[in-house]
């Protein structure tokens, strides 16, 4: 086990506490920019495919220097290297953590032969299926949940410009039949490929949906259905034996050293590869690998994932922010917040350290959000004027990219309109980070006319309602274009940032025992729905069971 100290037992932590008590918590972004014309540049970093403006965050050069000292004292570099070398850093499960090996060129990381054998075989299969005139497949249904769903479900719409119009992807995850039923009712089994995606091949939701899909397929296909399963079903799993038992012979495997929420780079990425093709899937992997190298090689002063992780620790443990909002200003990234929820909250939602000692400080923030500009018309009110400070992470994409057949054939008026919309999108993104930081004083509000304000109220009262405190922090990440490589780099950036805060907190970011209890209790409750037996249940659960039983 790593002997690296926990963050709160270091000298840098005490110095950060002193710094926080003084200048650290008093920092005013408006004054900081006024005092330093070079602030934007000094707090910006360029990593592969991703530029980051960190200057609208509540830190100064001293804060950053102390956080870097903290990272060094917590031995972030040797711990990172241990992960990349395949040491069993997932201590509670005795496993290595090697999602980075899935995107490394052959020979550059452990298990290269295994990884590239499956990758080559999977991508050859992908090209066969994508030859729709021959394969006859027009629809792909991915059945999986959590890490076996959220990655592909996020990436496929993000890379819409790279997807084939000949193949439509569908995602089914929930055990609720309202998820799968509307999907299947639109499909013809003879034109459909069903992927059963499950690391363990035991997950209740996925097994239930897979059984329904199988019954639907056999009923709809008619004669020869059993034999046709070989062509119309595929499994992506570490448990190939269980897939075979289910009757699926087309399988692509992966390994226990790939965590579910880190698995989109493995065979779990099959729906992504089917959507964007082999070459683009390799570009996605290459983009992630470029970020891996940056994480592994860039000095801490220029290391973007490490600096983001350090800011997260500063915000959570010193400034007391318990939430972070993600605002991707690209409709294709609308599932990014949900993807990041699992990545960060399942990884770092822990309350004991590696030794099992209860932690005296907070860990994972709540991660949430919505694509911009939609979020502006929902909850940004609270970000601007609510009582809690919530750091916001904007993701902006400089150049839009539409699927060719959707836009190239459109009349000039449509294309000009879309170009104009993109400028509006980016202006909104910048305006929000500006407004969060600048705010509006009561005096400024007094000086403005407020035509919609009630005439029954005096001007000073109205002005107080129209005051914005400002000094609210944000980060802006900028991609030139949402290419497969850029998206790969962005996702890898988030993975390594989560590693960084988890390493400083000295927690195991790679297990997820917290999901077990609910699963076990569900299995105990299930038979009671048939029997009606409520013996031994608490009063609330017994009453609710009685009410919900059919
Ligand atoms: O929710 C817990 C979890 O184990 C996740 O970590 C995982 O991504 C998900 O369930 C799905 O698991 P599987 O891929 O084994 O079906």
Residue 455, φ and ψ in degrees, nearest 5: -75, -10
Q: Is 532 left (phi over 0), alpha (psi -120 to 50) or beta?
A: left
Per-residue b or e along 118-143, where b marks 16 or more CB atoms closer than 10 Å to that residue's CB: bbeebbebbeebbeeeebebebbbbb
pLDDT score at 2: 79
Does ligand 1 come within 6 angstroms of the Cβ of 268?
A: no
The SS3 assignment for 143 reads strand
The residue to mutate among 99, 145, 195, 240, having the most atoms of ligand 1 within 8 angstroms of its beta carbon, is: 145
- Pick the catalytic residue from 346, 370, 393, 495: 346
Does ligand 1 come within 6 angstroms of the Cβ of 146?
A: yes
Contacts by 368-371, CB closer than 8 A, 24 or more apart: 368/323, 368/324, 368/325, 368/326, 368/337, 368/341, 369/325, 369/326, 369/327, 369/328, 369/336, 369/337, 369/340, 369/393, 370/327, 370/334, 370/337, 371/327, 371/328, 371/329, 371/330, 371/331, 371/333, 371/334
Using DSSP, how many helices (H) and how many strands (E) does the chain show? Answer: 26, 11
Domains of the chain with bracketed CATH: 99-283 (3.40.50.10490), 517-549 (no CATH)
Known catalytic residue: 440? no
Residue 254, φ and ψ in degrees, nearest 5: -145, -165
Does ligand 1 come within 6 angstroms of the Cβ of 309?
A: no
Q: Residue 145 CA: which ligand 1 atom is closest?
A: 11
Dihedral angle at the C-alpha atoms of 347, 495, 105, 83, nearest 10 degrees?
Answer: -50
Confidence of residue 318 (pLDDT cuts 50, 70, 90): very high
Closest CA to 295 of 497, 54, 475: 497
Helices (H), 298-361: 304-313, 336-340, 347-348
The residue to mutate among 252, 260, 270, 515, having the most atoms of ligand 1 within 8 angstroms of its beta carbon, is: 260
Known catalytic residue: 170? no
Mean pLDDT on 79-92? 97
Q: Residue 200 CA: which ligand 1 atom is closest?
A: 15
Please tell me the distance from the alpha carbon of residue 208 to that of residue 211, in angstroms, as a whole number: 5
pLDDT in tens, 147-200: 999 999 999 999 999 999 999 999 999 999 999 999 999 999 999 999 999 999
β-pairing verdict for 192-197 and 233-237: parallel
Please tell me the distance from the alpha carbon of residue 143 to that of residue 225, in angstroms, as a whole number: 19
Confidence of residue 52 (pLDDT cuts 50, 70, 90): very high
Does ligand 1 come within 6 angstroms of the Cβ of 198?
A: yes
Does ligand 1 come within 6 angstroms of the Cβ of 442?
A: no
What is the chain's mean pLDDT, rounded? 96
Least confident segment among 268-277, 366-375, 409-418, 441-450? 409-418
Does ligand 1 come within 6 angstroms of the Cβ of 261?
A: yes
Which protein residue has the closest C-alpha to ligand 1 atom 3? 146
Does ligand 1 come within 6 angstroms of the Cβ of 236?
A: no
Length of the chain: 550
523 sits in which H/E element: helix 516-531
Known catalytic residue: 377? yes
β-pairing verdict for 50-53 and 474-481: antiparallel
Q: How far is the CA of 151 from the centre of ligand 1 (A)?
A: 12
Mean pLDDT on 433-438? 98
pLDDT in tens, 393-413: 999 999 998 887 667 678 888
pLDDT in tens, 206-263: 999 999 999 999 999 999 999 999 999 999 999 999 999 999 999 999 999 999 999 9
pLDDT score at 406: 63
Please tell me the distance from the alpha carbon of residue 332 to that of residue 154, in angstroms, as a whole number: 8
Mean pLDDT on 112-134? 97
Residue 534 predicted with pLDDT over 90: yes
């Amino acid at each position: 086990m790593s002997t690296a100290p926990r963050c709160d037992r270091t000298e840098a932590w005490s110095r950060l506490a002193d710094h926080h008590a003084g200048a650290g918590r008093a920092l005013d972004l408006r004054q900081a920019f006024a005092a330093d014309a070079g602030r934007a540049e000094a707090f910006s970093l360029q990593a592969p495919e991703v530029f980051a403006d960190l200057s609208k965050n509540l830190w100064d050069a001293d804060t950053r220097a102390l956080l870097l000292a903290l990272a060094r004292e917590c031995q972030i570099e040797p711990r990172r290297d241990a992960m990349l070398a395949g040491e069993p850093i997932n201590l509670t499960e005795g496993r290595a953590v090697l999602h980075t090996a899935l995107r490394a060129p052959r020979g550059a990381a452990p298990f290269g032969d295994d990884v590239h054998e499956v990758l080559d075989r999977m991508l050859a299969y992908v090209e066969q299926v994508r030859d729709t005139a021959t394969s006859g497949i027009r629809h792909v249904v991915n059945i999986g949940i959590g890490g076996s769903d959220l990655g592909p479900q996020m990436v496929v719409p993000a890379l819409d410009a790279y997807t084939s119009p000949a193949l439509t992807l569908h995602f089914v995850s929930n055990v609720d039949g309202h998820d799968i039923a509307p999907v299947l009712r639109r499909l013809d089994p003879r034109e459909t490929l069903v992927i059963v995606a499950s690391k363990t091949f035991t997950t209740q939701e996925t097994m239930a949906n897979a059984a329904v899909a199988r019954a639907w397929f056999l009923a709809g296909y008619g004669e020869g259905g059993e034999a046709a399963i070989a062509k119309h079903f595929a499994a992506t799993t570490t448990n190939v034996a269980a897939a075979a038992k289910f009757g699926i012979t087309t399988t692509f495997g992966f390994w226990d050293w790939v965590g579910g929420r880190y698995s989109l780079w493995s065979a779990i990425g099959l729906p992504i590869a089917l959507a964007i093709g082999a070459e683009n899937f390799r570009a996605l992997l290459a983009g992630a690998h470029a970020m891996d190298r940056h994480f592994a090689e860039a000095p801490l002063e220029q290391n973007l994932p490490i600096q983001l992780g350090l800011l997260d620790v500063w915000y959570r443990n010193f400034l007391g922010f318990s939430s972070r909002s993600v605002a991707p200003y690209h409709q294709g990234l609308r599932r990014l917040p949900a993807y990041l929820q699992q990545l960060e909250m399942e990884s770092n939602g822990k309350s004991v350290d590696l030794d099992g000692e209860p932690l005296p400080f907070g860990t994972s923030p709540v991660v949430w959000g919505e694509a911009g500009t939609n979020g502006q018309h929902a909850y940004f009110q609270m970000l601007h004027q609510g009582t809690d400070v919530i750091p916001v992470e904007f993701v902006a994409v400089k150049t839009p990219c539409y699927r060719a057949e959707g836009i190239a054939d459109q009349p000039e008026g449509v294309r000009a309109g879309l170009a104009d919309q993109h400028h509006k999108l980016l202006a909104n993104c910048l305006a929000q980070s500006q407004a969060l930081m600048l705010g509006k004083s009561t005096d400024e509000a007094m000086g403005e006319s407020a035509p919609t304000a009630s005439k029954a109220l005096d001007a000073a009262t109205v002005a107080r309602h129209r005051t914005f405190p400002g000094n609210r922090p944000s980060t802006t990440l900028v991609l030139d274009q949402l290419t497969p490589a850029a998206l790969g780099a962005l996702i890898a950036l988030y993975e390594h940032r989560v590693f960084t805060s988890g390493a400083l907190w000295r927690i195991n970011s790679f297990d997820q025992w917290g999901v077990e209890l609910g699963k076990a209790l569900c299995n105990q409750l299930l038979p009671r729905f048939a029997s009606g037996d409520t013996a031994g249940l608490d009063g609330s659960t017994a009453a609710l069971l009685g009410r919900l039983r059919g």
